[in-house]
Structure 1
Amino acid sequence: MADATEHLGLGRVVVGVDGSPSASAALEWATAEAVLRGSGLWLVHATGNDALSRTEIDRSRRAGLELLDRTAETVAARHPELTVVKELSDGSPSDSLRSAASLSGTIVVGHRGRGGFSSLLLGSVGLEVTAGATTPVVVVRGAAERAESGAVLAAVRDENDLGCARAAAREAMLRRAPLRLLHVWGTAPYNGVQAALRNGSRESAEHLDVVPNVVERLHEEFPALKLQAEGEGSRSVPGALVEASRDADLLVCGGRRSPGYLGPTLGRITLSLVQHAHCPVELIPRYGPGHGSTS
């Protein structure tokens, strides 16, 4: 598996540990991902000690170390072959996770949290991590007992999403699962039957030209990949992607193309996905046209 990981260009898996149910779900997903990759699993607990007294800092650090030790022991008992690294940080949770991920790791967070990684209902730590991401971030969503399909879904907006599509292809290859590329575009408000049919036909032709170039590149780079590509128009782009996520184990999407709104990675559509998708969502950072076309 290590050789496969090297070929696919996948790095370490980094997950925040705080003892909450949401963090436990993130840990479970991150552990399974690290096993698939044959890479190390980094367990990070951040105490955020800036405003604490020395006594409180010592108590917080002891509790954090105990939590990391218990968590590492549990993971090792289930997966003795997995390399587990424990990291206790006095910094902020978001900075600690980004530091542990370094240049190529994948950060995994739960949708909600408590303690050192409090309130991962995007708006605090989860918002900071996803909005300012420089490496891939997975927000673990979906029902705990949800049946797995194995499928990976990639949201493709244009040819600049080739980097996102590559990341999704790697995840699909890792799982020996099919990849579904889905290009969704927003449709114009209803202006009468004839106008709607005329404009819909023109829009469909223009938008469906986006997908073949991405598909061709993926076929060249991942010849063994089972790939399905399709496009559809919708009055709600995020709504269509959320609905499509019902049949996926992982939804991969590119981050916001330009700065603004909630940060360089998180925009209106991606925020909707991490809040409402029915499966884990992986955000792939990108910064400007052409970024997605580099490996």
Structure 2
Amino acid sequence: MSYGVVVGIDGSAQSAAAAQWAAREALRRGLGLRMVHVAGTEADALERELGGGSAVPEPVAVIRDRIAAASPGLDVSCELRPGSPADDLAAVGRRAELLVLGSRGLGGFAGLLVGSVGLRTAARAGCPVVLVRAGADGQGGTDGPGGVPGDVVVGVEGDRPCDAVLAFAFRHAADTGAVLRAVESRDVSHGGPYTTEAPVCERDIRDSLAAAEQLRLQDALGRWREKYPEVRTEAELHPGSPAGALVAASRSASLLVLGRRTPKHTLGAPRLGAVTQSVLHHAHSPVAVVPHA
């Protein structure tokens, strides 16, 4: 049995924003919304003891009731689980289509946009994880200026972009009516000196290499354009830092989609790459981390 869309909530403003985002996505997908509060802190334990057992804390109940009232057609459930937040949320995510978290919950450090629970869960969950922060540039993770859907930005790498990552990005763009922007960073400035039979400007060669890379990226998207003809796509090749290009692209995005490679062996420790961690800490939009082989 699938849990549908799962959102982790702890009563913080970040988790409230995550719950709103998750509710919209559950409605779009025709799925139920399962709210999970993992009572892994001493404050939670004390509140359970004073409150008589299994009731969720009042701030969590407020978020639950607000979401249910705003989305009367949505099947909403709320569950209290004891344990470690990152471990339990990742475990629940194994049976979910999508796991949504606030980027930083109660007790997080103000200087970090993504807390340790969010990072650890995104590295371990078997389903896509979306991290949402409250008031991201005033967009709330949904629309851009004037109510127009923000772009769906997907980071791609290599000659064969990952199918799981592109599938997630194209589906979300199709569901929301957004433009999909495939962003890749690759340095085509090196490779000289160049030897030719006739004098050729190195700048012309670099421009030709960049044009060839742009064409390669367009070709890599061809199959997905055929599957989602309604989605307008743009392919962008950027020089320099991949993290910098993706963070810049997130300014006009409703969602930024990244991939996370899963370990081939069970002994391999799940982790996020340096680019993904940097983007998670600095992105201006919600970020989806999609696991893939």
Q: Where on the TM-score scale, by shorter chain, does this alignment land: which range?
A: 0.7 to 0.9
1:247 corresponds to 2:239: no
Which of the pair is proportionally richer in helix? 1
Question: Gapped runs of 5+ residues in structure 1?
Answer: 1-9, 288-295
Q: Which amino acid aligns with 1:223?
A: P
The answer to whether residue 119 in structure 2 is matched with residue 127 in structure 1 is yes
Shift of 1:36: 1.9
Retained in 2: the 8 A contact 1:265–1:286? no
Report the Cα offset of residue 144 of structure 1: 3.7
Cα deviation, residue 205, structure 1: 4.8
Change (3 A) 1:34 1:56: closer
Distance of 2:274 and 2:123 partners within structure 1: 11
Summarize deviations over 1:18-61 as a string: whole Å, max 9, x none. 11111112112112222222211111100127x89987763475
Residue range with higher mean Cα deviation, 235-244 or 135-144: 135-144
Cα separation, partners in 2 of 1:217 and 1:174, compared to 1, 3 Å: same
Deviation at 1:69, TM superposition (A): 3.7
Q: Deviations over 1:79-111 (max 9, x none)?
A: 110000211101211222223333442111112
Unaligned segments of structure 2, at least 5 residues:
194-199
Contact 1:153–1:248, Cα closer than 8 Å, also in 2? yes
**TM-score normalized by the length of structure 2:** 0.79
> Who is 1:163 aligned against?
164
Q: Summarize the Cα distance change of 1:92–1:13 in structure 2 as closer, same or farther, 3 Å threshold.
A: same
Q: Secondary structure at the match of 1:164?
A: helix
Shift of 1:242: 0.9
Equivalence for 2:275? 269
Cα distance between partner residues in 2 of 1:196 and 1:244: 29
* Identity within the alignment, %: 34
Matched residue, 2:184: 183
Give the whole-Å Cα distance in 2 for the aligned partners of 1:154 and 1:65: 37
SS of the residue corresponding to residue 29 of structure 1 reads: helix
Whether the 8 Å contact between 2:113 and 2:280 is mirrored in structure 1 is no
Aligned residues: 272
Residues 90, 124 of structure 2: 8 Å contact kept: no
Q: Deviations over 1:227-247 (max 9, x none)?
A: 222323x22111111111111
Q: Classify the secondary structure of the residue corresponding to 2:221.
A: helix
Q: Give the one of 137, 140, 143 matched to 1:143.
A: 137
How do residues 279-290 of structure 1 correspond to structure 2 at under 5 angstroms? 279-287=285-293
- The structure with the largest alpha-carbon Rg is 2
Structure 2 counterpart of 1:290: none
Runs of 4+ in 1 over 6 A off after TM superposition: 51-56, 189-192
Please give the alpha-carbon distance, in whole angstroms, between the structure 1 residues aligned to 2:201 and 2:104. 45
Structure-1-length-normalised TM-score = 0.78
1:212-241 deviation line (CA, Å, top 9, x unaligned): 333211123222222222323x22111111
